[in-house]
C-alpha cells in the first residue's frame, strides 16, 4: 500500500545556497595567514558586494580583492581593489566589489605582510533575488516635476516661436500667436510620446530582468511503501539551469536535513540517492514518530551554484531501518555517554560573524580521544530558525559548499583535514557563521568518534 502526503514549503521564501541566509562566510588559510572572509552579495545584479576580511593574527599589511568567474584562472582577474584597514582594529579590512553578471563567481583575496604573500578564493553566487521598485515618496516628487518640465519646455518652444524673431518691443500678430500655440501643443504631444516609448522600453528591460531573477528549484516530497521518501524536483524554468548536473559534495549528491515542526527537538541528516530519473531522489527513512516535518536538501550544480530545496510533509508513524553510513539523527543517546557541549558565552548579534565552538566529551566529562572525520570534516552543523524561515548547512570552513570550493580552489585545504586525520583529531570543532536576523534558532551539530556519529541540538538566541 502506498501513502503519499505532500505539502510544498512555500512559507520560508527560499534563497540560493541556503534558506533566508544569503551572506557567505569562509575561514581558511591564505599562505601564512588565517583569514575569516565575509561576503555580502547584492540582491540585484549588477550590484555591489560588501567584503570583510579578518586576520586571526598580526602581520597583515595589505589586502586586495577582485571578482572572478568561479572556474576562471586568476590571470584573467581585473586589477584588484585595495581593502581599507579599520582604524580601530588593525586586523580587520573592508572593501566593495561590483558583480556585473548572473552566475557563480569567486572573490580572490590576496594578502601581503611581513610573513610573505598569501591568496585564497571564496565562491560567491551572484544572483538577483529581488526587483527594486520606485519608492512611493520619490514617485510623488518626480511625477509633478516631470509635468512641470514638460509644460516648461512647451512654454519655451511656444514663446520662442511667438516672439523669437520679433524686434524688441514689437507685439506678435495673431498668426504668430496661433503658430506658437500649435508648436507648444506639438511639444507636449512629443514629450508624452517620448515618455510613453521610454516606459515601453523600461517595461521591456524589466521583463528581460525578470527572466534572470532567481527562481528557486522546487521539490515535492511524498511517502511511499511506509518508509520510502521520494523527492521529485519541480524546475521553475530559471535560465538554463539543469537538474541532471549535480556534483558530489562530501561524497553525496544531496544532503537532506529533516526536522520536526514546531519545536525542532528531533533532526536527521540523510543522503538520498538518485531514483532512476534525473529529477527524482529517494531515501529510506529511519523510524520516526508522527508529525509535521520540514525538509531541507542541499545540492551543488556543475557550475558551482549551490541550492537548498525545501518542502514540508506530514508523516504517520514510520517504521524504518537503522541508520547507517553517513546518515545520522538525534539528539543521540550514546551507550558510552558521549555528548556534545557548546562553549558559549558572548552574546550573538545578527549578521555578525561568530565562532560557534563545540566539544565532544565522554560519559566522564572528558574530551573524546577517538575523534574521526565526519564526511571529511571535523563536524557538520545546521542552523535553523524556530519558524523554519532560515536554514544553513555550515562546515568548519564556513557556509561554502565543498564542491564549489573545489572549483574555486582545486588546491583547497581539504588536504589539511587529511593531515589532521593522520596526526590525530581534536575533540573540538568551530563553525564560522553569522545568523541573518534576530530570533530563536536551533543548532544541529554532529561529530564522529569510534565509528559512531553523535548529534546534539542547541538553542541560540540572536540579538539585533
CB 272 within 8 A of CB 230: no
DSSP secondary-structure letter at 303? T
Mean pLDDT value of segment 33-42 = 96
Query: Mind listing the pLDDT tens digit for each residue in 174-226?
Result: 888 899 999 999 999 999 999 999 989 988 888 888 888 999 999 999 999 99
Look at residue 19 and tell me if it is in a domain: no
> Domain check: are 371 and 401 in the same one?
yes
Element at 459 (helix H, strand E)? strand 452-463
Does the pLDDT at position 9 exceed 90? Answer: no
Contacts of residue 86, defined as CB under 8 A and 6 or more positions apart, other chains included, come to 92, 93, 94
Rounded Cα–Cα distance for residues 456 and 340 (Å): 6
> Domain check: are 412 and 432 in the same one?
yes
CB 247 within 8 A of CB 301: yes
The confidence score (pLDDT) of residue 101 equals 92
Look at residue 343 and tell me if it is in a domain: yes
Does the pLDDT at position 10 exceed 70? Answer: no
Domain count, the chain: 3
Rounded Cα–Cα distance for residues 47 and 24 (Å): 16
Greater confidence (1 vs 414) lies with: 414
Does the pLDDT at position 12 exceed 60? Answer: no
Cα first-last separation, the chain: 50
The confidence score (pLDDT) of residue 236 equals 79
> Domain check: are 226 and 187 in the same one?
no
3-class SS of residue 187: helix
Indicate the pLDDT class of residue 4, thresholds 50, 70 and 90: very low
> Domain check: are 277 and 378 in the same one?
yes
Query: Mind listing the pLDDT tens digit for each residue in 136-176?
Result: 898 889 889 999 999 999 999 999 988 888 888 788 888 88
> Domain check: are 272 and 414 in the same one?
yes
Greater confidence (229 vs 76) lies with: 229
> Domain check: are 349 and 454 in the same one?
yes
Query: Mind listing the pLDDT tens digit for each residue in 386-439?
Result: 999 999 999 999 999 999 999 998 765 445 444 444 557 899 999 999 999 999
Does the pLDDT at position 104 exceed 50? Answer: yes
CB 303 within 8 A of CB 103: yes
Q: Residue-wise over 271-309: b if at least 16 C-beta within 10 A, else e? A: bbeeeeeeebbebbbbebeeeebbbbbbbbbebbbbbbb
Does the pLDDT at position 277 exceed 90? Answer: no
Closest CA to 254 of 314, 316, 301, 207: 301
Closest CA to 6 of 313, 261, 388: 313
Element at 348 (helix H, strand E)? strand 348-349
> Domain check: are 39 and 157 in the same one?
no
Rounded Cα–Cα distance for residues 397 and 29 (Å): 10
Closest CA to 127 of 209, 247, 233, 243: 209
> Domain check: are 87 and 32 in the same one?
yes
The confidence score (pLDDT) of residue 438 equals 96
CB 90 within 8 A of CB 43: no
Rounded Cα–Cα distance for residues 270 and 252 (Å): 10
**DSSP secondary structure of 115-159:** TEEEEEEEEEEE------PPPHHHHHHHHHHHHHHHHHHHHHHHH
The confidence score (pLDDT) of residue 341 equals 96
Query: Mind listing the pLDDT tens digit for each residue in 325-381?
Result: 999 998 987 778 999 999 887 899 999 999 999 999 999 999 999 999 999 999 999
| Average model confidence (pLDDT) across the chain | 90
> Domain check: are 205 and 110 in the same one?
no
Query: Mind listing the pLDDT tens digit for each residue in 297-326?
Result: 999 999 999 999 999 999 999 999 899 999
The size of the chain, in residues, is: 464
Query: Mind listing the pLDDT tens digit for each residue in 237-271?
Result: 888 888 899 999 999 999 999 999 988 999 999 99
> Domain check: are 226 and 202 in the same one?
no
Look at residue 404 and tell me if it is in a domain: yes
CA 358 to chain centre: 24
CB 394 within 8 A of CB 298: no
Look at residue 241 and tell me if it is in a domain: yes
Task: Give the domain extent around 270.
Answer: 218-463
3-class SS of residue 76: helix
The confidence score (pLDDT) of residue 2 equals 40
CA 68 to chain centre: 18
Amino acid at each position: 500500500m502506498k501513502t503519499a502526503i505532500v505539502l510544498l514549503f512555500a512559507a520560508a521564501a527560499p534563497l540560493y545556497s541556503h534558506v533566508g541566509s544569503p551572506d557567505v562566510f569562509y575561514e581558511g588559510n591564505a599562505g601564512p595567514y588565517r583569514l575569516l572572509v565575509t561576503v555580502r552579495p547584492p540582491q540585484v545584479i549588477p550590484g555591489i558586494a560588501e567584503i570583510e576580511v579578518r586576520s586571526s593574527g598580526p602581520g597583515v599589511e595589505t589586502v586586495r580583492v577582485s571578482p572572478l568567474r568561479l572556474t576562471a584562472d586568476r590571470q584573467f582577474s581585473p586589477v584588484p581593489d585595495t581593502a581599507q584597514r579599520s582604524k580601530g582594529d588593525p586586523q580587520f579590512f573592508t572593501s566593495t566589489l561590483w558583480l556585473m553578471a548572473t552566475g557563480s563567481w569567486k572573490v580572490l583575496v590576496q594578502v601581503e605582510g611581513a610573513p610573505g604573500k598569501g591568496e585564497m578564493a571564496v565562491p560567491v553566487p551572484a544572483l538577483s533575488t529581488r526587483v527594486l521598485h520606485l519608492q512611493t515618496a520619490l514617485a510623488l516628487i518626480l511625477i509633478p516635476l516631470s509635468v512641470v518640465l514638460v509644460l516648461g519646455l512647451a512654454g519655451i518652444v511656444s514663446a520662442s516661436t511667438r516672439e523669437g524673431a520679433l524686434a524688441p518691443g514689437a507685439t506678435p500678430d495673431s498668426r504668430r500667436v496661433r503658430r506658437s500655440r500649435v508648436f507648444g501643443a506639438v511639444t507636449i504631444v512629443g514629450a508624452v510620446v517620448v515618455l510613453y516609448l521610454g516606459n515601453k522600453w523600461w517595461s521591456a528591460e524589466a521583463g528581460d530582468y525578470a527572466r534572470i531573477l532567481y527562481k528557486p528549484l522546487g521539490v515535492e516530497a511524498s511517502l511511499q511503501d511506509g518508509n520510502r521518501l521520494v523527492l521529485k524536483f519541480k524546475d521553475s524554468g530559471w535560465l538554463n539551469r539543469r537538474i541532471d548536473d549535480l556534483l558530489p559534495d562530501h561524497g553525496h549528491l544531496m544532503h537532506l536535513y529533516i526536522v520536526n515542526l514546531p519545536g525542532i527537538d528531533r533532526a536527521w541528516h540523510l543522503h538520498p540517492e538518485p531514483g532512476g530519473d534525473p529529477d527524482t531522489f529517494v531515501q529510506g527513512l529511519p523510524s520516526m514518530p508522527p508529525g509535521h516535518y520540514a525538509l531541507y536538501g542541499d545540492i551543488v550544480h556543475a557550475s558551482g551554484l549551490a541550492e537548498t530545496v525545501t518542502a514540508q510533509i506530514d508523516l504517520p508513524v514510520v517504521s524504518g531501518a537503522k541508520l547507517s553510513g553517513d546518515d545520522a539523527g538525534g539528539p543521540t543517546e550514546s551507550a558510552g555517554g558521549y555528548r556534545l557541549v557548546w562553549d558559549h558565552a558572548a552574546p550573538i548579534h545578527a549578521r555578525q560573524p561568530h565562532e560557534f565552538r563545540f566539544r565532544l566529551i565522554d560519559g566522564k566529562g572528558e574530551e573524546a580521544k577517538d575523534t574521526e572525520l565526519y564526511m571529511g570534516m571535523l563536524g557538520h552543523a545546521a542552523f535553523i530558525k524556530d519558524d523554519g524561515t532560515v536554514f544553513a548547512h555550515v562546515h568548519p570552513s564556513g557556509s561554502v559548499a565543498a564542491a564549489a570550493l573545489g572549483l574555486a580552489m582545486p588546491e583547497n585545504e581539504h588536504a589539511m583535514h587529511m593531515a589532521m586525520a593522520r596526526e590525530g583529531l581534536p575533540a573540538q570543532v568551530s563553525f564560522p557563521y553569522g545568523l541573518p536576523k534576530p530570533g530563536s534558532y536551533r543548532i544541529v551539530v554532529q561529530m564522529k568518534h569510534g565509528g559512531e556519529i553523535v548529534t546534539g541540538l542547541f538553542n541560540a538566541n540572536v540579538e539585533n
